[in-house]
Amino acid sequence: MRALLGAVLLGGAVASGCVPPLDGAERVLVYDYVDEDLGLVEAPLRIATDDLVQGRSPQTQILIGGELRFGANGIEASGGRVPILPARVDDGLLVPDDGDALSFFSFLVHLQTASEWFLDREMADSRLFADLGSRYELFVPTATEWRDQADNAGYFPPTHDFLLGPNERAPGAPIMASPGVVGHELGHAVQVATGASGSLRSGCLGDTNRAACRTINGMDEGLSDLWAAGIWPDPAFVLKNFGDRAADRDMRDLKPLPEDLLNGTLSDTEDGALDSWDPHTPGAIWASWWWAIGEELGDDGLDRVIALSWSMTRAIGALDPDDAFGVVEMCDLFLADATAAERAIACAVFVEQLGDAAEGLTRCE
């Protein structure tokens, strides 16, 4: 999902004009998880009414349109307009008056929830969210991987932006309005922030030729799924929007690591040799390992797995640019702060799934 995830356009165009008086709102209508689906839910209103109507929250300001410019000074985002979203107050409930408003209200409410989750766990500093941008229907003419944003959304590290595209085929609620999607993408911002200047992580942004970078990219996708499931306890949240097209993203399905993907974490490639590398594939596999460990740990298992994954993430952010890093090193770092009982459970999963490669696990000996 870092590369892309998505948004939807359900109603008419975003309205323009002045913000109407909307006094007395205590709740807001948004998309959220309802049983096994996404549906409409009344959420407590913890963002100022006028902020929601103007596409703004303590974390971000939404801009409609705009573009990214690639030049000698790097990549810069520019343009776009601030939306004025139609809404009304009905018996204390802030009701969006079209599909765009419903989508954007949902996005902002879930972004607030996700950012608070990361802050409460001390996985991020409030400054990380102070200047987060969100850009809807962004057109990037010189970046091939961003040309088609239908059914997609993503976090773009160079400009610290959420990029949100329109919905066309996804069967669920608007993807930008999906709680798990929002949590997943925000997780990427948290991950990138752990990379010190000149570190392996910072040098790996956009690099798929180094095995270490492919491992980090895949790991980040799995971590974002895991963390989103910690914010909204749903190990199959991706299926809510993509159905059978995302069946492999159900973390409850423990998956082995195919030999070609294992080799992809061990050997560097020549320039452009892995243009088709998709980090979501190994990410889904590794997320299923972590989920299985959490299940074995019992009632607090998910919390412990998330804590161990965060220690691993910080350790990886401190690696030097020339350090070797693959799936075996990733598993070793996951075990660094584990108790003896946790290590025994995790090692059983890692050894079974890694096969002969598990001989390199120094903390499982």
Q: Place 274 in a pLDDT band, splitting at 50, 70 and 90.
A: low
Q: Place 38 in a pLDDT band, splitting at 50, 70 and 90.
A: confident
Write the DSSP string, 71-118.
ETTEEEEE--B-----EEEETTEEEESSHHHHHHHHHHHHHHHHHHHH
Of residues 264 and 71, the one with the higher pLDDT is 264
- The percent of residues in the chain predicted with pLDDT above 90, rounded, is 55
Q: Place 267 in a pLDDT band, splitting at 50, 70 and 90.
A: confident
pTM of the model: 0.89
Q: Which two tokens stand for residue 157?
A: 């590290």
DSSP E strand stretches across the chain: 27-34, 37-44, 60-64, 67-71, 74-78, 87-90, 93-96, 132-136, 153-156, 161-164
- Average pLDDT on 252-260 reads 89
| Residue 45, number of CB atoms within 10 A of its CB | 19
Q: At residue 148, does pLDDT exceed 60?
A: no
Q: Place 156 in a pLDDT band, splitting at 50, 70 and 90.
A: confident
Q: Place 1 in a pLDDT band, splitting at 50, 70 and 90.
A: very low
| C-beta of residue 284 within 8 angstroms of C-beta of residue 221 | yes
The answer for 355, left when phi > 0, alpha when psi is -120 to 50, beta otherwise, is left
- Average pLDDT on 51-78 reads 82
Q: Which residues touch 36 (CB under 8 Å, ≥6 apart)?
A: none
What is the pLDDT at residue 79?
85
Query: How confident is the model over 81-91, as pLDDT tens digits?
Result: 999 999 999 99
Of residues 139 and 196, the one with the higher pLDDT is 196
Average pLDDT, the chain: 85
- Average pLDDT on 222-240 reads 92
- Average pLDDT on 204-230 reads 92
What is the pLDDT at residue 19?
53
- Average pLDDT on 223-228 reads 97
Q: At residue 17, does pLDDT exceed 60?
A: no
Q: Place 74 in a pLDDT band, splitting at 50, 70 and 90.
A: low
- The percent of residues in the chain predicted with pLDDT above 70, rounded, is 84
Highest mean pLDDT among 103-107, 148-152, 309-313: 309-313
Give the separation between CA 353 and CA 331, rounded to whole angstroms. Answer: 11
| C-beta of residue 43 within 8 angstroms of C-beta of residue 109 | yes
Of residues 256 and 365, the one with the higher pLDDT is 256
What is the pLDDT at residue 275?
57
